[in-house]
Amino acid sequence: MTVVDQIVRRGAEAAPGFAESPASARAALLEAIADALDGGADALVAVAGEETALPEGRLRGELARTTAQLRKFAGVIVEGSYLEVVIDHADGSDVPPRPDLRRMLRPIGPVAVFAASNFPFAFSVAGGDTASALAVGCPVIVKTHPGHPRTSETTAALVDQAVAGQGLPAGVFQTAAGFEEGLELVDADALEAVAFTGSLRGGRALLDRCTARPRPIPFYGELGSLNPVVVTAAADAARGGELAAGLAGSFQLGDGQFCTKPGLVLVPAGSVLEAQLPQHVVAAHPRMLTETIAAGFETGRDRAAAVPGVAIVAGGASATAPTVLAADAATLLTHRELLDEVFGPVTVLVRYADEAELDRVLEALEGSLTMTLHAEPSEDVRGLATWMTSRAGRVLFSGWPTGVAVSWAQHHGGPWPATNTQFTSVGATAVRRFLRPVVYQDAPESVLPDALHDANPLGIPRRVDGRLEV
């Protein structure tokens, strides 16, 4: 039996008991993990700073986001709507006649979480995927990211303490490291799902692998995203300088290493934005997360810059300097490789001559996590806004896509290649990935979970005989 086999077996053994633990116990676990991370903040930030080159302020902010996220999921499960309880009492007059049916969501079992490189806390060992799976009672096995191994170990040790402190078995939370071990994990018979944040190429391989198993399991990938921005001629005329500053801040934030970095900006030809953007582009070399990412950025940026008709508007002088490229719409439409995501501080301005040309570029876009519109209040953009919802999971107005709030309404997903499912990896509804419905038919109350008792002892929102009861 390999190490990974043993890990998955321990997760599977812990699953039934963890599934039956009350929401209050799981909420206490999430709070305890948050407290442990807050208590270990200095050590965590120090080691993450050494491994990722991210500045201390950013890391402290990300850790605060991570612990706030854990506490928010605690609130979500205590509130109880996430169980989606529906009770239909028997009704012989229905067509067909119906028995007593009581539906709720149940945890799916042990899940694998593949950590991301670019958020060593918020999308790593104790990040959103781990928090949402633990919240609903699924044991987690984190495949740690090789970009920050000691940060992963330090975080895992704090989570382990919290798990033990709550009297839960160690199988509730475990880690595994290594590329081959990750594949072995995906193949493990007892695994029930895989959550992944990373590259399109890696995600595609894992999706295929999850599907090819003798027993296919769901793969929840958060993959590539171009995050297009549209600036209307009126918006550029009214506040092109302000937009230039905003775009510069967004595409260089975190040295462009965000999945929501605006990678393509559609601007009117001869825009104020293009003229003023260079003054906001930082000349200093960014410090990339890993050498692989630095090399990938340089290669992708240089490939785009080498396309005939593409100009370097700002930066690009040194290997990893932030860079702004620009091209006419016609160039983009004949060189679709300009639509490939390049991870790092680069964005491509695409100049459109008129609305017809703008429409042709829009039609060429694939799915993204976000799309952004900058227009003036006097413009009727209803049609464009609605269309944007067909290409992105989050549509922003007069803002910038970097920065993803954690709340009840948030959706962090979108049409392929942004994600491969209709689920989100950020926000309250992220828990839905790790749940499946079951319905009890004509069950005696003695066998029903509390959530399905007529008296509603948990006091949770439910639909009873078609009516929502809050």
Which residue, 378 or 455, has its beta carbon nearer to its own copies? 378
Q: Rounded to an integer, what distance in angstroms lies between the CA atom of residue 165 and that of residue 168? A: 8
Restricting to residues 33-72, which ones interact with its own copies according to CB under 8 A? Answer: 61, 64-65, 68
Which residue, 316 or 393, has its beta carbon nearer to its own copies? 393
SS3 64: helix
Burial class of residue 445 (count of CB atoms within 10 Å of its CB; 0-12, 13-18, 19+): exposed
Which residue, 55 or 149, has its beta carbon nearer to its own copies? 55
Classify strands 86-88 and 101-107 as parallel, antiparallel or unpaired. Answer: antiparallel
Q: Which of 446, 455, 457, 459 binds its own copies (CB under 8 A)?
A: 446
CA angle 338, 255, 195 (to 5 degrees): 75
DSSP string computed for 330-383? HHHHH-GGGGS---SSEEEEEEESSHHHHHHHHHH---EEEEEEE--TTS--HH
Restricting to residues 204-263, which ones interact with its own copies according to CB under 8 A? Answer: 207-208, 211-212, 215-218
What are the residue numbers of the active site? 222, 259
Burial class of residue 448 (count of CB atoms within 10 Å of its CB; 0-12, 13-18, 19+): middle
Cα dihedral value 430, 32, 173, 154, nearest 10 = 110
Closest CA to 374 of 208, 237, 207, 254: 237
Restricting to residues 356-375, which ones interact with its own copies according to CB under 8 A? Answer: 366
Helix, strand, coil tally for the chain in percent (to 5): 45, 20, 35
Which residue, 24 or 422, has its beta carbon nearer to its own copies? 422
157-165, 263-271, 327-335, 392-400 -> range binding its own copies (CB under 8 A): 392-400
395 binds its own copies (CB under 8 A): yes
User: What is the per-residue binding string for its own copies in 80-119, x denoting contact by CB under 8 A?
Assistant: -x--x-xxx--x--xxxxxx-xxx--x-xx----------
34-42, 47-55, 110-118, 438-446 -> range binding its own copies (CB under 8 A): 438-446
**Minimum CB separation from its own copies for residue 434, in Å?**
9
309 binds its own copies (CB under 8 A): no
> What is the size of the binding site for its own copies (CB under 8 A)?
90
**Minimum CB separation from its own copies for residue 212, in Å?**
8
CA angle 156, 157, 161 (to 5 degrees): 115
461 binds its own copies (CB under 8 A): yes
Restricting to residues 399-428, which ones interact with its own copies according to CB under 8 A? Answer: 399, 403-411, 413, 415-417, 420-422, 424, 428
**Minimum CB separation from its own copies for residue 301, in Å?**
25
